[in-house]
A and B are shown apart, each in its own frame.
Chain A
Amino acid sequence: MRNYPNSLPRPKGELAKLEAIWAPPRGFKLLTAVNNTYIGLFYIGTALLFFVLAGILALLMRLQLAVPANDLIDQGTYNQFFTMHGTVMMFLFAVPVVEAIGVLLLPQMLAARDLPFPRLSAYAFWAYFIGGLFFFSSLFFDLAPDGGWFMYPPLTSSRYSPAENADFWLVGIGFIEISAIAGAIEIIVGILRTRAPGMSLDKMPVFAWSMLVFAGMIVFAFPAVILATFLLELERAFHWPFFIPEMGGDPLLWQHLFWFFGHPEVYIIFLPAAGMVSMIVPTMTGVPLAGYRLIVVALVATGFFSFGLWVHHMFATGIPELSLAFFSAAGMAVAIPSGIQVFAWIATFAKGRLRLTVPSLFILGFFAIFVIGGLTGVMVAMVPFNWQVHDSYFIVAHLHYVLFGGMVFPVFAAIYYWVPAVSARALSERLGRWAFALMFTGFNIAFFPMHIAGLMGMPRRVYTYAEGLGWEWYNLISTVGAFVLAAGILVCLVDLVLNFRFAVSGTAGNIWKAGTLDWLPNGMYGTRSIPIITSREPLWDDPELAGDVQKGRYYLPGASTGGRETLVTSPVDAVPQYLLQVPGQSWRSFLAAVFTAAFFLLLTVKLVTLALVCGVLALAMIIAWMWQTDPGENHPPVSIGGGIKLPVYVTGKISHSWWAVVILLLVAASMFVALLFSYLYIWTVSPQVWPIAEGQPMPELLWPIGSAAAFIASSAAIAYSGVMLTKARVWPLRLTLLFSCVALATALALEFHGQWDSGLRPTASSYGALVYTFFTVEAQLAVAALIMCIYTVARSVAGMLTPVRRATYDNTMLFWHYTVGQGLMSLLIVHGFPRIAE
């Protein structure tokens, strides 16, 4: 006789109340939806839209290249097309679609009712939606960027790209950066803290592991490109010379920063897809995944090693032999974890009996194409071979084999596989087979010949080519293949239109007989009750589970606090810790996204005043949204069943908001390390613009010492105000908080004054630009910290900050100490390094 946490029958109205609380908004109020099901589907739909739009650009490019000396699409347009194709595919489709599938599926897979920060997901989505569409529309105004999707300076500096096209790219990427970081925070906290009780890390579905690695990689890789785009925009708009050699800059700095992000980026795209494969293969073979632990090891190892490869995109830039060899060796090393995954999947096929459903076909297609891509990848990691094929159509072939094979095919498998969980009808097996056949043959016909064209000397990014070079047939065949591929995708889209009918309760259900929690019967509230997990395939090992969960026998069968809730559990062993009160629909996050998007877009078209107005409005909306957080202990501890009583509010290191701030600070720290790298790198390239060499006086030490003292004072004051808070001494609390603000502002003012006074200007040289960048980056953090601090004072004045209700203060304090720490490091480097360097 099993010991269920909750007994039957459940109280009358409990389920109805749960449904009412989680009911989605209707009509145009759908814009305010924040639940992961809605946001996930909006996200996937938008990403697929961008996939189709960028795909159309590719078809047009292939038409232009079908014959030599073609004049279908002129040079300028073509250059915009290939830039946009790459940018939209990489930034507006690839990362968002795998993130979106995570947003949609992870809570279900972990038996959570929602993600931990739903309004943050909504904000990230709407910013991406609005920003992405505006970015794409730049094509219609001849304003699309045309510097290639990785936008190398000096071509993209203001001198060689004077028009606003490049600025659109910089802004377009900005949206993705926000979305990706927000998504990463959401996913890490969600996976580590909201799993079903008993789902220890080694019972977690492989997709969750892959999303965890994905999110961790975003935290450490994206900041490099955030910094790079920031530097390029400073150079273009204000002439701070980072990449201009005459002023002490170096074009290679961009390449290092971009590719330090860019290489992990492709694994960020691939690993979630590999996670999806690891979910689908066991279901389709009917046996658990072979080598679960090996696959987890492979995912984590790939994530790490991918950070050591970036220079392989720069093998032709004249880097010394030893460095080339290091990166070549690292490229070889990363092949091993990928091999582990492939062989584990084959072993799983052998253990069970593969059913050849449409998802299985797409998985087999993924296998074939990804293995080819991986093999050409190993070839390309060999330096001498790379010197020949870099920047040729061989690389275009390679990258499409790994990205299309490694991500698009698994995503299409995922679409066919998971649609029954969110739709009243499954997709059509017949149409699916056609889609697969057309996509698989079309893809290979389109892209295999490109290997040969590249070996025959055809470079990348050429809008046309001469007759008589032998490239004609390969290009024509590729074009035909591209249209066959497009036909396949069209079939899938038709299938979706004909058969996808969004449903939450009346879904097609577990037609594949899968074993994981994402297939439990669902409502908008996720599962009716949150089960205890004792295995990796709970539905296989306990055939009663679905029924028991539906009846409400497990944890939290109702809404104990009268609002939306989910369980927070411990990170390793998933022991229940507290109840998270989850926000419901909100206009504030939607409007904040609209105004944030408007702010960046208006800046790009140089409508500065209007942009600032929108910026202020965005800030106001964010503050209004934040005002609803930190509810305090607004309810006594609730009973979730099984004799467990959980608090509804916690503070300190155990709190999910603390974790979110920690992750955000890791992002900030990564960006700072990228800046530090840039500073040292430029010094090795252009020591002549450093002050000692140039005979330029440095600021007197009094300034940085004063600044450091002010920084430390502000930290001390914040710490003291924490003591005041604990003792409920309200006015000392508020005054010390305000004093901290003044001290922080003073620290920045002193540093700025010292530099300005010494005559250094950011436009003078790369050294000046870097020094003022340290200041600017610090100032950005400081402004955020000041806003947070004044907000905290406001909370105190409103009676919403007490010794118990203190999450707002805790997060502010954490952020503050980091800001001070980074400020002190900046001072040390900027004032110390030049003095010891010579």
Chain B
Amino acid sequence: MIGNSPHSFTSRLLFMLAGPLIWFAHFSFIYGAAGFGGAFGLDAAAIRDLSWGATVTALAAVALVLWRTAHDSITRGLAILSFLAVTFEALVLWMVPQ
């Protein structure tokens, strides 16, 4: 009596962690841009713009996850916390002058 295959476990796991994974991708992007952008020829304004773009994308992605998981409270809880964490970074982008 072999049960669920691990394959679907991986996708279930990844979906449960969608919020934090989006947060992590967003954070890597903005930190990468801030840390490495200059060396790759981006000026401060371009780095800001890219960071805002990433932030809006991340917030939208997390909102999508929230919309699609009316039932699973763990996935939702993680997504809400991730949304807050991304918002904190948006606050930084807004308040720290160039």
A301:B82 contact, CB within 8 angstroms: yes
Question: In this assembly, does A297 line the interface, its C-beta being within 8 Å of a C-beta of chain B?
Answer: yes
A644:B34 contact, CB within 8 angstroms: no
From residue B94, how far is it (CB to closest CB) to chain A in Å?
10
A571:B6 contact, CB within 8 angstroms: yes
Which B residues are in CB contact (< 8 Å) with A573?
A: 3-4
Per the 8 Å Cβ criterion, residues 647-677 of A in contact with B are 650, 653-654, 659
Which B residues are in CB contact (< 8 Å) with A356?
A: none
A326:B30 contact, CB within 8 angstroms: yes
Chain B: residues with Cβ within 8 Å of the partner, total of 36
Which B residues are in CB contact (< 8 Å) with A570?
A: 3-4, 9
Question: In this assembly, does A317 line the interface, its C-beta being within 8 Å of a C-beta of chain B?
Answer: no
B81:A337 contact, CB within 8 angstroms: yes
Which B residues are in CB contact (< 8 Å) with A683?
A: 39
Question: In this assembly, does B1 line the interface, its C-beta being within 8 Å of a C-beta of chain A?
Answer: yes
Most central of A202, A304, A321 by chain B CB within 10 Å: A304
A577:B1 contact, CB within 8 angstroms: yes
Interface readout for A613-657 with B: 1 if CB under 8 Å, 0 if not?
Answer: 000000000000000000000000000000011100010011000
Question: In this assembly, does A308 line the interface, its C-beta being within 8 Å of a C-beta of chain B?
Answer: yes
* In-complex Cβ contact of A323 among B3, B20, B35 (8 A): B35
B84:A336 contact, CB within 8 angstroms: yes
Question: In this assembly, does A294 line the interface, its C-beta being within 8 Å of a C-beta of chain B?
Answer: yes
From residue B7, how far is it (CB to closest CB) to chain A in Å?
6
Question: In this assembly, does A322 line the interface, its C-beta being within 8 Å of a C-beta of chain B?
Answer: yes
Question: In this assembly, does A320 line the interface, its C-beta being within 8 Å of a C-beta of chain B?
Answer: yes
B92:A325 contact, CB within 8 angstroms: yes
Q: How far is it, in angstroms, between the C-alpha of A577 and the C-alpha of B1 when the chains are bound?
A: 6
Interface readout for A289-323 with B: 1 if CB under 8 Å, 0 if not?
Answer: 00001101100110011011000000000001111
Which A residues are in CB contact (< 8 Å) with B31?
A: 308, 323, 326
Q: How far is it, in angstroms, between the C-alpha of A328 and the C-alpha of B88 when the chains are bound?
A: 10
Question: In this assembly, does B70 line the interface, its C-beta being within 8 Å of a C-beta of chain A?
Answer: no
From residue A296, how far is it (CB to closest CB) to chain B in Å?
6
From residue B75, how far is it (CB to closest CB) to chain A in Å?
9
Which B residues are in CB contact (< 8 Å) with A713?
A: none
B81:A326 contact, CB within 8 angstroms: no
Per the 8 Å Cβ criterion, residues 569-586 of A in contact with B are 569-573, 575-578
From residue B52, how far is it (CB to closest CB) to chain A in Å?
13
Known A-B contacts A322-B34, A576-B3, A659-B6; the reply to A301 vs B88 at CB < 8 A is no
Per the 8 Å Cβ criterion, residues 318-349 of A in contact with B are 320-323, 325-326, 328-330, 332-333, 336-337
A645's nearest neighbour on chain B, judged by CB, is B1
A304's nearest neighbour on chain B, judged by CB, is B20
* In-complex Cβ contact of B78 among A301, A329, A575, A645 (8 A): A301
Which B residues are in CB contact (< 8 Å) with A304?
A: 17, 20, 23-24, 82
Q: How far is it, in angstroms, between the C-alpha of A202 and the C-alpha of B72 when the chains are bound?
A: 11
B81:A575 contact, CB within 8 angstroms: no
Interface readout for A210-228 with B: 1 if CB under 8 Å, 0 if not?
Answer: 0000000000000000000
Q: How far is it, in angstroms, between the C-alpha of A721 and the C-alpha of B38 when the chains are bound?
A: 48
Question: In this assembly, does B57 line the interface, its C-beta being within 8 Å of a C-beta of chain A?
Answer: no
A575:B3 contact, CB within 8 angstroms: yes
* In-complex Cβ contact of A294 among B5, B12, B77 (8 A): B77
From residue B50, how far is it (CB to closest CB) to chain A in Å?
12
Question: In this assembly, does A684 line the interface, its C-beta being within 8 Å of a C-beta of chain B?
Answer: yes
Enumerate chain A interface residues (CB-CB to B < 8 A). 192, 202, 293-294, 296-297, 300-301, 304-305, 307-308, 320-323, 325-326, 328-330, 332-333, 336-337, 569-573, 575-578, 644-646, 650, 653-654, 659, 680-681, 683-684, 687
Query: What are 15 inter-chain pairs, A to B, with CB distance below 8 A?
Result: A293-B73, A293-B77, A297-B81, A300-B17, A300-B74, A304-B23, A308-B27, A308-B31, A308-B85, A325-B92, A329-B89, A330-B27, A336-B81, A572-B4, A645-B1
The 6 A-B residue pairs whose C-beta atoms are closest, nearest first, are A575-B3, A570-B3, A297-B77, A684-B39, A304-B20, A333-B85
Known: A307-B24, A323-B35, A337-B81. 14 other contacts (CB 8 A): A293-B73, A301-B20, A308-B31, A333-B81, A570-B3, A571-B6, A575-B1, A575-B3, A576-B1, A654-B5, A681-B36, A683-B39, A684-B39, A687-B39
